[in-house]
Structure 1
Amino acid sequence: MDILSLFPSNVIALWAVSFGFLAVLYWWKITARKRRHKRKQQQARRVLAKIQTLPAFGYKIAYLRKIDPFTFEELLLEGFESHGFRTIRNKRYTGDGGIDGQVIIGKHRYLIQAKRYRGHIALQHVQEFDTLLKRHNCRGLFCHTGKTGAASKAVSFASERMEIISGQRLIDLLTPGSSFTIATAPQTMMRRTAATRGTNIIVEEADKNTTDSMRVN
């Protein structure tokens, strides 16, 4: 006996319609995510072009602090690509575990964290990113639009894996043809020595910098 004959035709039709609806819904969710990524990438390219027309550093930083956070993530990747580096984009913007993209520089893979700030960056965010890099056993770039306080600099200098990109370096990253570079391994020992010498002063300022932090995203 045919198993389909056990069910009324209207039940079979309902199953078929339900299955078709679920298939369409799944397809829509997958393609919607791709469309969103494409839209943010297009916005990032427009921002990259806009930055080149702004007259001074202050105008550029102020403009970057206002853009959509996901567009800022894509903007950083566009910046790295403009300098000839290969990038790896996330499949989604949320639930990324603190990783906003990746870039391959030389033989090394760098994780990227993108933050828009108006004031000093949060020390906790820098520390958490350093912990993330240790867990993934790779290097990282903490890119932000704010100010880097002494305590945050200390964490970066003492880290064997992390570089902070902000201020003029951030603008250089987003300026095709500029002299943007990433520090390499030989600087590690010098950075750790500098951090050790300044530890006493840096620790005293840690609480102040955390309080002064004004994070936008």
Structure 2
Amino acid sequence: MDILSFFPSNLIALWAVSFGFLAVLYWWKVTGRKRRHKRKQQQARRVLAKIQTLPGFGYKIAYLRKIDPFTFEELLLEGFESHGFRTIRNKRYTGDGGIDGQVIIGKDRYLIQAKRYGGHIALQHVQEFDKLLKRHNCRGLFCHTGKTGAGSKSVSLSSDRMEIISGQRLIDLLSPGSSFTIATAPQTMMRRTAATRGTNTIVEEADKETTDSMRVN
């Protein structure tokens, strides 16, 4: 006897409709995420082209502070790719654990964190990113549109994993054909030595940086 004969035909039809609905819903969610990524990548390419037409640093950095945060993440990846680096994109924009993308430089894998600020960057964000890099045992780039205070500089300079990209370096990253480089391991060690020598001055300004920070994203 066919097992389906034990179930009413209307119940079987309901199951079929429910299964079909769930399948369509899953397909729409997966493809919708891909469509969103594609749309943000297209926006990032337009922003990258727009930046090249702006007259100076002030106009460019102000423009970057206003763009969509997910577009900013894609913009950074577009910038790295324009300099010949291979990038790795996340499958989603939220729930990424603080990782907004990855870039391969030489033999090293760098995690990227993208932040749009209007004022000083939050010292806590830099410290948390440094801890994240230690957990993943790799290097990282903290890219932002704000101001890097003394405390944040101290964390970056004393870290053998993290480098902050902001100001003119950020603009250079987003300017295809410009001279943009990432510090090598020996250069990182030199930075740590410099940070140790300047610790007393840096600590005095750390509290001011924390209270003055303004996070846009």
TM-score per shorter chain, which class?
Answer: over 0.9
Structure 2 unaligned residues grouped into runs of 5+ = none
Show CA shifts across 1:83-127 (max 9, x none).
000000000000000000000000000000000000110000000
Q: Map of 1:17-56 to 2, 5 A cutoff?
A: 17-56=17-56
Give the drift of 1:8.
1.3
Show CA shifts across 1:180-214 (max 9, x none).
11010111221111111111111111110001101
* DSSP-derived class of the 2:17 partner: helix
Partner of 2:212: 212
Show CA shifts across 1:148-194 (max 9, x none).
00110010000000110000000000000000110101112211111
* DSSP-derived class of the 1:53 partner: coil
Partner of 1:185: 185
Structure 1 unaligned residues grouped into runs of 5+ = none
RMSD between superposed Cα atoms in Å? 0.5
Q: Distance in 2 between matches of 1:209 and 1:133?
A: 22
Q: Distance in 2 between matches of 1:157 and 1:106?
A: 21
Partner of 2:100: 100
Q: Distance in 2 between matches of 1:11 and 1:149?
A: 65
Q: Distance in 2 between matches of 1:158 and 1:7?
A: 69
Count of residue pairs brought into register by the alignment: 217
Show CA shifts across 1:55-107 (max 9, x none).
00000000000000000000000000000000000000000000000000000
* DSSP-derived class of the 2:52 partner: helix
Q: Which moved more, 1:1-10 or 1:161-170?
A: 1-10
* DSSP-derived class of the 2:215 partner: coil
Q: Distance in 1 between matches of 2:152 and 2:202?
A: 9
Partner of 2:87: 87
Q: Distance in 2 between matches of 1:5 and 1:198?
A: 82
Q: Distance in 1 between matches of 2:112 and 2:173?
A: 13
Q: Distance in 1 between matches of 2:202 and 2:169?
A: 22
Q: Distance in 1 between matches of 2:151 and 2:12?
A: 66
Q: Distance in 2 between matches of 1:189 and 1:180?
A: 20
Q: Distance in 1 between matches of 2:178 and 2:171?
A: 9
Partner of 2:136: 136
Runs of at least 4 residues of structure 1 off by over 4 A? none
